[in-house]
Amino acid sequence: MENKNFIRTIIETDLKNGKHDEIVTRFPPEPNGLLHLGHARAIIMNYILSKDYGGRFNLRFDDTNPVKEDTIFVEGIKKDIAWLGCHWDALYFASDYFEEMYQRAMLLVKRGKAFVCDLSAEQIKLHRGDFDNPGKESPYRDRSIEENIRLFEAMRNGEFADGAKVLRAKIDMAHPNINMRDPVIYRIQRAHHHNTKDAWCIYPMYDFAHPLEDAIEGITHSLCSLEFEDHRPLYDWFVKHCEMEQVPRQIEFGKLNIANQIMGKRLIRKLVEAGTVDAWDDPRLITLSALRRRGVPPLAIHDFVKALGLPKSEGHTEINMLDEFIRERFKVSAKRIHAVIDPVEVVLTNYPEDKTETLTAPLNRENEALGSRELTFSNTLYIEREDFLEEKPNKKWKRLSLGIEVRLMHAYFIKANTVDYDANGNVKTIYATYDPETKSGSGFNERKPNGNIHFVDAKTAKPAEIRLYEDLVIPDDDAQPIEEKINTDSKQVKYGFIESGITPQERESFQFTRLGYFTLDEDTTADRLVFNRTVALRSSFKPKR
Partner RNA sequence: UGGGCUAUAGCCAAGUGGUUAAGGCAUCGGACUUUGACUCCGACAUCGAAGGUUCGAAUCCUUCUAGCCCAGCCA
Site residues for RNA, window 508-527 (CB under 7 A)?
511, 513-514
Taking CB under 7 A as the criterion, which residues in 29-48 touch RNA? 30
Q: Which stretch binds RNA (CB under 7 A): 52-60, 82-90, 238-246, 537-545?
A: 537-545
| C-beta closer to RNA: residue 197 or 316 | 316
Q: Does the footprint of RNA cover residue 528 (CB under 7 A)?
A: no
The three-state secondary structure class of 204 is strand
Window 357-396: residues binding RNA (CB under 7 A): 364-366, 396
Give the C-alpha distances (Å, rounded to integers) separating 176 from 85, 134, 233, 400.
43, 7, 12, 73
Question: Which residue of 25, 261, 289, 317 would you call a contact of RNA, by CB under 7 A?
Answer: 317
In angstroms, what is the minimal distance from the CB of 45 to RNA? 11
Within positions 209 to 268, which residues make up the interface with RNA, using CB under 7 A?
209-210, 226-231, 254, 259
Residues in contact with 205: Cβ distance below 8 Å, sequence separation at least 6, in sequence order? 64, 183, 184, 185, 186, 187
Backbone angles phi, psi at 441, to 5 degrees: 90, -10
Determine if 141 is a binding residue for RNA (CB under 7 A): no
| Residue 480 is a binding residue for RNA (CB under 7 A) | no
Q: Which amino acid is at 178?
A: I
Q: Which stretch binds RNA (CB under 7 A): 80-88, 176-184, 275-283, 463-471?
A: 176-184
Residue from 37, 169, 216, 308 touching RNA (CB under 7 A): that is: 308
Nearest distance from C-beta of residue 463 to RNA, angstroms: 21
Binding mask 483-512 for RNA (x = CB under 7 A): ----------------------------x-
Identify which of 348, 23, 487, 495 has the alpha carbon closest to the alpha carbon of residue 218: 23
Q: If binding is defined by CB under 7 A, does position 478 make contact with RNA? A: no
| The binder of RNA chosen from 54, 85, 176, 403 (CB under 7 A) | 176
Comparing CB distances to RNA, the nearer of 4 and 197 is: 4
Burial of 422 (0-12, 13-18, 19+ CB in 10 A): exposed
151-164 core/surface letters (b: 16 or more CB in 10 A; e: else): bbeebbeeebeeee
Closest to RNA by CB, 36 or 327: 327
Q: What residues from 325 to 364 belong to the interface with RNA (CB under 7 A)?
A: 327, 331, 336, 364
Give the nearest distance from C-beta 177 to RNA in angstroms: 4
112, 139, 264, 315: which one contacts RNA (CB under 7 A)?
Answer: 315
- What whole-number distance in Å separates Cα of residue 35 and Cα of residue 454? 39
Interatomic CA distance for residues 306 and 538, integer angstroms:
22
Q: Which is nearer to RNA, 2 or 278 (CB)?
A: 2
Question: Residue 320: CB partners within 8 Å, gap ≥ 6?
Answer: none
Work out how close the CB of 319 gets to RNA at its nearest, in angstroms, rounded to a whole number. 8
Neighbour order of strands in the sheet with 509-512: 335-337, 509-512, 516-520, 529-536, 462-469, 491-498, 339-340
Which residues within the stretch 392-431 sit at the binding site for RNA (CB under 7 A)? 396-399, 407, 409-410
Its sign, for the CA torsion 455, 456, 459, 464, is: negative
By CB under 7 A, is residue 137 in contact with RNA?
Answer: no
DSSP 32: S
Amino acid 56 reads R
Helix (H, G, I), strand (E, B) or coil at 414: strand
Does position 174 interact with RNA (CB under 7 A)? The reply is no
Least Å distance, CB 173 to RNA, is 12
Distance CA 366, CA 279 (A): 37
Binders of RNA among residues 438 to 467 (CB under 7 A) are 439-441, 451-453
For residue 520, the 8-state DSSP code is E
Give every strand in the sheet of 56-61, ordered side by side: 24-27, 56-61, 90-93
Binding of RNA by 112 (CB under 7 A): no
* Cβ proximity to RNA, 218 vs 362, nearer residue: 362
Q: What is the DSSP string of 351-409?
A: S-TT--EEEEEES-TT-GGG-EEEEEE-SEEEEEGGGB-SS--STT--SB-BT-EEEET
Whole-number minimum distance, CB 33 to RNA, in Å? 10
Beta strand pairing call for 343-348 and 372-377: unpaired
Q: What's the closest the beta carbon of residue 275 comes to RNA, in angstroms?
A: 28
Q: How far is the CB of 310 from RNA (least distance, A)?
A: 6
> Should residue 128 be labelled a site residue for RNA when binding is judged by CB under 7 A?
yes
Closest distance of CB 321 from RNA, Å? 4
Tallying the residues shown for the chain, one arrives at 545
Instruction: Name the one range near RNA by CB under 7 A: 193-201, 238-246, 313-321, 417-425.
Output: 313-321
To RNA, the closest distance from the beta carbon of 198 in angstroms equals 17
Count the site residues for RNA by CB under 7 A: 92
